Amino acid sequence: MSKPVLQIALDQTSLTDALNVTRRIAPHVDVLEAGTILCAAEGAPAVVSALRALYPGQTIVADLKVADAGSVIAEMVFSRGADWMTVICAAPLATMKSAKKVADAYGGDIQIELYGDWTFEQAADWLDAGITQAIYHRGRDAQAAGQTWGEEDLGKIRRLSEMGFAVSATGGLSPEDVHLFRGIPVKCFIAGRSLSEAEDPAAEAAAFRAAIDRYWS
Protein backbone atom coordinates (compact mmCIF):
# COMPACT_ATOMS: atom_id res chain seq x y z
CA MET A 1 0.00 0.00 0.00
CA SER A 2 1.60 3.32 -0.97
CA LYS A 3 2.11 5.96 1.64
CA PRO A 4 -0.45 8.80 1.62
CA VAL A 5 0.82 12.22 0.60
CA LEU A 6 -0.07 15.56 2.18
CA GLN A 7 -2.08 18.37 0.59
CA ILE A 8 -2.77 21.85 1.92
CA ALA A 9 -6.15 23.35 1.15
CA LEU A 10 -5.78 27.12 0.75
CA ASP A 11 -9.14 28.42 1.91
CA GLN A 12 -8.17 32.00 2.71
CA THR A 13 -10.38 34.81 1.45
CA SER A 14 -7.56 36.73 -0.22
CA LEU A 15 -4.70 35.68 -2.48
CA THR A 16 -2.25 37.70 -0.39
CA ASP A 17 -3.16 35.74 2.74
CA ALA A 18 -3.02 32.45 0.84
CA LEU A 19 0.44 33.21 -0.53
CA ASN A 20 1.63 34.10 2.97
CA VAL A 21 0.55 30.61 4.01
CA THR A 22 2.16 28.86 1.02
CA ARG A 23 5.45 30.67 1.67
CA ARG A 24 5.62 28.86 5.02
CA ILE A 25 4.12 25.50 4.06
CA ALA A 26 4.86 24.73 0.39
CA PRO A 27 8.20 22.95 0.99
CA HIS A 28 6.52 20.71 3.57
CA VAL A 29 3.56 19.42 1.54
CA ASP A 30 3.18 17.46 -1.70
CA VAL A 31 0.10 19.14 -3.18
CA LEU A 32 -1.17 22.74 -3.16
CA GLU A 33 -4.91 23.22 -3.39
CA ALA A 34 -6.53 26.39 -4.67
CA GLY A 35 -9.46 25.99 -2.26
CA THR A 36 -13.10 26.56 -3.07
CA ILE A 37 -13.27 29.59 -0.78
CA LEU A 38 -10.12 31.18 -2.24
CA CYS A 39 -11.27 30.56 -5.81
CA ALA A 40 -14.65 32.13 -5.02
CA ALA A 41 -12.93 35.15 -3.47
CA GLU A 42 -10.23 35.78 -6.05
CA GLY A 43 -11.19 33.83 -9.18
CA ALA A 44 -9.83 30.40 -9.99
CA PRO A 45 -7.73 31.41 -13.04
CA ALA A 46 -5.90 34.10 -11.05
CA VAL A 47 -5.27 31.81 -8.09
CA VAL A 48 -4.04 28.88 -10.19
CA SER A 49 -1.82 31.18 -12.31
CA ALA A 50 -0.23 32.69 -9.20
CA LEU A 51 0.45 29.30 -7.61
CA ARG A 52 1.85 27.86 -10.84
CA ALA A 53 4.18 30.83 -11.33
CA LEU A 54 5.54 30.55 -7.79
CA TYR A 55 5.60 26.75 -7.51
CA PRO A 56 6.38 25.39 -10.99
CA GLY A 57 7.21 21.88 -9.79
CA GLN A 58 4.37 21.29 -7.36
CA THR A 59 1.07 19.48 -7.98
CA ILE A 60 -1.76 22.04 -7.99
CA VAL A 61 -5.46 21.30 -7.54
CA ALA A 62 -8.32 23.62 -8.41
CA ASP A 63 -10.99 22.66 -5.89
CA LEU A 64 -13.98 24.08 -7.71
CA LYS A 65 -16.47 21.28 -7.00
CA VAL A 66 -17.81 21.86 -10.51
CA ALA A 67 -21.51 21.03 -11.04
CA ASP A 68 -22.01 22.11 -14.68
CA ALA A 69 -20.09 23.53 -17.67
CA GLY A 70 -17.35 20.98 -17.06
CA SER A 71 -15.25 21.67 -20.14
CA VAL A 72 -15.48 25.48 -19.92
CA ILE A 73 -14.37 25.58 -16.30
CA ALA A 74 -11.76 22.88 -16.82
CA GLU A 75 -10.24 24.91 -19.66
CA MET A 76 -10.00 27.95 -17.33
CA VAL A 77 -7.86 26.13 -14.78
CA PHE A 78 -5.93 23.50 -16.76
CA SER A 79 -4.77 26.17 -19.21
CA ARG A 80 -3.38 28.11 -16.19
CA GLY A 81 -1.40 25.15 -14.94
CA ALA A 82 -3.69 23.12 -12.70
CA ASP A 83 -2.90 19.39 -12.50
CA TRP A 84 -6.20 18.27 -11.00
CA MET A 85 -9.71 19.75 -10.74
CA THR A 86 -12.61 18.62 -8.55
CA VAL A 87 -16.13 17.92 -9.82
CA ILE A 88 -18.97 17.44 -7.35
CA CYS A 89 -20.51 13.96 -7.13
CA ALA A 90 -23.97 15.38 -7.85
CA ALA A 91 -22.89 16.64 -11.28
CA PRO A 92 -24.31 14.86 -14.32
CA LEU A 93 -22.04 12.24 -15.88
CA ALA A 94 -21.91 14.46 -18.99
CA THR A 95 -20.25 17.22 -16.92
CA MET A 96 -17.70 14.79 -15.53
CA LYS A 97 -16.91 13.44 -19.00
CA SER A 98 -16.53 16.88 -20.55
CA ALA A 99 -14.24 18.02 -17.72
CA LYS A 100 -12.21 14.81 -18.07
CA LYS A 101 -11.75 15.36 -21.80
CA VAL A 102 -10.13 18.74 -21.15
CA ALA A 103 -8.07 17.35 -18.26
CA ASP A 104 -6.78 14.59 -20.54
CA ALA A 105 -5.81 17.11 -23.21
CA TYR A 106 -3.60 18.90 -20.66
CA GLY A 107 -2.27 15.70 -19.06
CA GLY A 108 -4.29 16.47 -15.93
CA ASP A 109 -6.88 14.62 -13.90
CA ILE A 110 -10.39 14.95 -12.46
CA GLN A 111 -11.29 14.16 -8.86
CA ILE A 112 -14.88 13.46 -7.81
CA GLU A 113 -15.70 15.27 -4.57
CA LEU A 114 -17.99 13.11 -2.45
CA TYR A 115 -20.52 14.93 -0.30
CA GLY A 116 -23.97 13.88 0.85
CA ASP A 117 -25.86 11.44 -1.34
CA TRP A 118 -24.14 9.34 -3.98
CA THR A 119 -24.20 5.63 -4.78
CA PHE A 120 -21.68 2.95 -5.64
CA GLU A 121 -23.59 2.44 -8.93
CA GLN A 122 -22.77 6.06 -9.81
CA ALA A 123 -19.18 5.47 -8.74
CA ALA A 124 -18.99 2.54 -11.18
CA ASP A 125 -20.15 4.92 -13.95
CA TRP A 126 -17.39 7.40 -13.01
CA LEU A 127 -14.85 4.62 -13.33
CA ASP A 128 -16.31 3.64 -16.71
CA ALA A 129 -15.80 7.27 -17.75
CA GLY A 130 -12.11 6.89 -16.90
CA ILE A 131 -12.24 8.84 -13.64
CA THR A 132 -10.14 7.14 -10.98
CA GLN A 133 -9.74 9.75 -8.24
CA ALA A 134 -12.28 10.52 -5.52
CA ILE A 135 -12.18 12.71 -2.43
CA TYR A 136 -14.12 11.56 0.61
CA HIS A 137 -15.21 14.73 2.36
CA ARG A 138 -16.59 15.54 5.76
CA GLY A 139 -17.98 18.98 5.00
CA ARG A 140 -17.00 22.01 7.04
CA ASP A 141 -20.61 22.69 7.99
CA ALA A 142 -21.28 19.02 8.81
CA GLN A 143 -18.21 19.05 11.04
CA ALA A 144 -19.40 22.21 12.77
CA ALA A 145 -22.75 20.47 13.33
CA GLY A 146 -20.90 17.66 15.15
CA GLN A 147 -20.37 15.03 12.43
CA THR A 148 -17.33 12.89 13.23
CA TRP A 149 -15.39 10.31 11.19
CA GLY A 150 -17.07 6.94 11.68
CA GLU A 151 -16.90 3.29 10.60
CA GLU A 152 -19.43 3.98 7.85
CA ASP A 153 -17.12 6.58 6.27
CA LEU A 154 -14.08 4.35 6.56
CA GLY A 155 -15.98 1.40 5.05
CA LYS A 156 -17.02 3.53 2.07
CA ILE A 157 -13.44 4.68 1.52
CA ARG A 158 -12.27 1.06 1.65
CA ARG A 159 -14.95 -0.04 -0.83
CA LEU A 160 -14.15 2.77 -3.27
CA SER A 161 -10.53 1.81 -3.09
CA GLU A 162 -11.36 -1.83 -3.78
CA MET A 163 -13.34 -0.68 -6.84
CA GLY A 164 -10.19 0.95 -8.21
CA PHE A 165 -10.38 4.55 -6.99
CA ALA A 166 -7.45 6.43 -5.52
CA VAL A 167 -9.27 8.02 -2.58
CA SER A 168 -8.19 11.13 -0.72
CA ALA A 169 -9.70 12.17 2.61
CA THR A 170 -10.51 15.62 3.92
CA GLY A 171 -12.60 17.63 6.31
CA GLY A 172 -11.20 19.09 9.50
CA LEU A 173 -8.30 16.62 9.61
CA SER A 174 -5.45 16.99 12.07
CA PRO A 175 -2.45 14.71 12.73
CA GLU A 176 -4.41 13.12 15.59
CA ASP A 177 -7.01 11.83 13.07
CA VAL A 178 -4.56 9.99 10.82
CA HIS A 179 -4.65 6.76 12.86
CA LEU A 180 -8.37 6.37 12.08
CA PHE A 181 -7.47 5.55 8.47
CA ARG A 182 -4.80 2.93 9.16
CA GLY A 183 -5.11 -0.12 6.92
CA ILE A 184 -6.93 1.91 4.26
CA PRO A 185 -5.13 2.95 1.05
CA VAL A 186 -5.57 6.74 1.31
CA LYS A 187 -3.99 8.61 -1.61
CA CYS A 188 -3.76 11.96 0.05
CA PHE A 189 -4.64 13.60 3.37
CA ILE A 190 -5.99 17.06 2.63
CA ALA A 191 -5.79 19.59 5.45
CA GLY A 192 -6.71 23.25 5.46
CA ARG A 193 -7.23 24.98 8.78
CA SER A 194 -5.09 22.65 10.87
CA LEU A 195 -2.05 23.50 8.73
CA SER A 196 -2.67 27.13 7.83
CA GLU A 197 -3.80 28.23 11.29
CA ALA A 198 -1.06 26.36 13.15
CA GLU A 199 1.44 28.54 15.00
CA ASP A 200 4.16 26.60 13.16
CA PRO A 201 2.68 25.17 9.92
CA ALA A 202 5.92 23.33 9.07
CA ALA A 203 5.87 21.57 12.45
CA GLU A 204 2.20 20.66 11.94
CA ALA A 205 3.05 19.20 8.50
CA ALA A 206 5.88 17.24 10.14
CA ALA A 207 3.39 15.90 12.69
CA PHE A 208 1.14 14.74 9.82
CA ARG A 209 4.12 13.05 8.16
CA ALA A 210 5.16 11.36 11.41
CA ALA A 211 1.63 10.00 11.87
CA ILE A 212 1.57 8.78 8.26
CA ASP A 213 5.00 7.12 8.69
CA ARG A 214 3.74 5.43 11.83
CA TYR A 215 0.75 3.74 10.19
CA TRP A 216 1.97 3.26 6.60
CA SER A 217 5.36 1.64 6.20
Give the binding site for ligand 5RP (CB under 6 A): 9, 11, 35-36, 63, 140, 170-173, 190-194
How far apart (Å, rounded) are the C-alpha atoms in residues 32 and 190? 9
Q: Provide, rounded to whole angstroms, the least separation between the CB of residue 10 and ligand 5RP.
A: 8
Q: Which is nearer to ligand 5RP, 179 or 193 (CB)?
A: 193
Pairing, β 109-114 against β 5-10: unpaired
Q: Which is nearer to ligand 5RP, 121 or 199 (CB)?
A: 199
Q: Provide, rounded to whole angstroms, the least separation between the CB of residue 2 and ligand 5RP.
A: 22
Q: Provide, rounded to whole angstroms, the least separation between the CB of residue 154 and ligand 5RP.
A: 17
Q: Which is nearer to ligand 5RP, 45 or 192 (CB)?
A: 192
Q: Which is nearer to ligand 5RP, 133 or 170 (CB)?
A: 170
Q: Which is nearer to ligand 5RP, 98 or 196 (CB)?
A: 196
Who contacts 61 (Cβ-Cβ below 8 Å, separation ≥6)? Answer: 7, 31, 32, 33, 34, 82, 83, 84, 85, 86, 111
Q: Provide, rounded to whole angstroms, the least separation between the CB of residue 201 and ligand 5RP.
A: 13
Q: Provide, rounded to whole angstroms, the least separation between the CB of residue 128 and ligand 5RP.
A: 26
